[in-house]
Copies of this chain bind each other. A is one copy, B any other.
Amino acid sequence: MQRPSGRAPAQLRPIKITRNYTRHAEGSVLVAFGGTKVLCNASVSSEVPRFLRGRGSGWITAEYGMLPRSTGTRMPREAAKGKQSGRTVEIQRLIGRSLRAAVDLEKLGENQITLDCDVIQADGGTRTAAITGACVALVDALRHMQREKLLSEDPLLNLVAAVSVGIYAGQPVLDLDYPEDSGADTDMNLVMAADGGMIEVQGTAEGAPFSEKQFAQMLGLGKAGIDELIALQKEALEARGD
């Protein structure tokens, strides 16, 4: 089997994590998984959702969007339609849940960090790129809060990364790009912490169901990919002396 991308089955796309991509956000990361480019901005606020007010605990939330022409065919702008699609809502809920697992919300104090993940260019795997990039933006925001004495201790529990795996032409492959994703029988997204803890496993068969064996193979590929991604996150976070 030959992947359309020419990559080996267990090979990630070239990953690039650029910090401080924009000027205003407390954390601002452009993450590229090959041709997929997502801008992840972390914003710190002292306003938490109503259900947390006065409890001394914080919150992480996320919003996701695609620029209308991030894709091959222009998609209608959600702001103009007046409605976020079901897919958008699903993805931003996943990003928020995943990153809440990275942080001790009590130690965050009564603060909220919002992660805006906006897809500049799409080529498959935008949600996994978003989680991986947003985690770096989140760390930068937490560092900012510590520098500004908004936090007395570091609430980070673990780095968190995400990757997709799928069955393409009968074989498990890692980090599918758009042509591979379109041709795959099964799509699975895996979110894990640096210590190997599993945060989210979402395997979906729109075509034929998958077997337990395939599921186990995908899980194995995914875990290895996550390890690589977390190493790249660490490298990026060490790169500049902040």
Query: Do B205 and A202 touch across chains, with their CB atoms under 8 A apart?
Result: no
Q: A159 at the A/B interface (Cβ < 8 Å)? A: no
- A90, A114, A198: which has the most chain B beta carbons within 10 Å? A198
Q: Which residues of the other chain, B, contact A24 by a CB distance below 8 angstroms?
A: 69-72, 121-122
Query: Do B43 and A68 touch across chains, with their CB atoms under 8 A apart?
Result: yes
Query: Do B101 and A209 touch across chains, with their CB atoms under 8 A apart?
Result: yes
Segment among A73-81, A125-133, A169-177, A229-237 that sits at the interface with chain B: A73-81
Nearest CB to that of A206 among chain B residues? B97
Shortest A61–chain B CB gap in Å is 11
Query: Do A93 and B100 touch across chains, with their CB atoms under 8 A apart?
Result: no
Query: Do B205 and A197 touch across chains, with their CB atoms under 8 A apart?
Result: yes
Q: Which residues of the other chain, B, contact A43 by a CB distance below 8 angstroms?
A: 68-69, 74
Segment among A5-13, A51-59, A210-218 that sits at the interface with chain B: A210-218
Query: Do A204 and B200 touch across chains, with their CB atoms under 8 A apart?
Result: yes
Query: Do A114 and B74 touch across chains, with their CB atoms under 8 A apart?
Result: yes
- A24, A77, A79, A193: which has the most chain B beta carbons within 10 Å? A79
Known: A77-B116, A79-B79, A198-B215. A121 touches B22 (CB 8 A): yes
Shortest A130–chain B CB gap in Å is 14
Shortest A218–chain B CB gap in Å is 10
Query: Do A82 and B83 touch across chains, with their CB atoms under 8 A apart?
Result: yes
Q: A150 at the A/B interface (Cβ < 8 Å)? A: no
Q: A109 at the A/B interface (Cβ < 8 Å)? A: no
Query: Do B97 and A204 touch across chains, with their CB atoms under 8 A apart?
Result: yes
Known: A63-B80, A82-B82, A206-B97. A116 touches B201 (CB 8 A): no
Q: Which residues of the other chain, B, contact A37 by a CB distance below 8 angstroms?
A: 22
Query: Do B70 and A63 touch across chains, with their CB atoms under 8 A apart?
Result: no
Q: Which residues of the other chain, B, contact A97 by a CB distance below 8 angstroms?
A: 204, 206
Q: Which of B39, B68, B203 contacts A67 (CB 8 A)?
A: B39
- A92, A100, A118: which has the most chain B beta carbons within 10 Å? A118
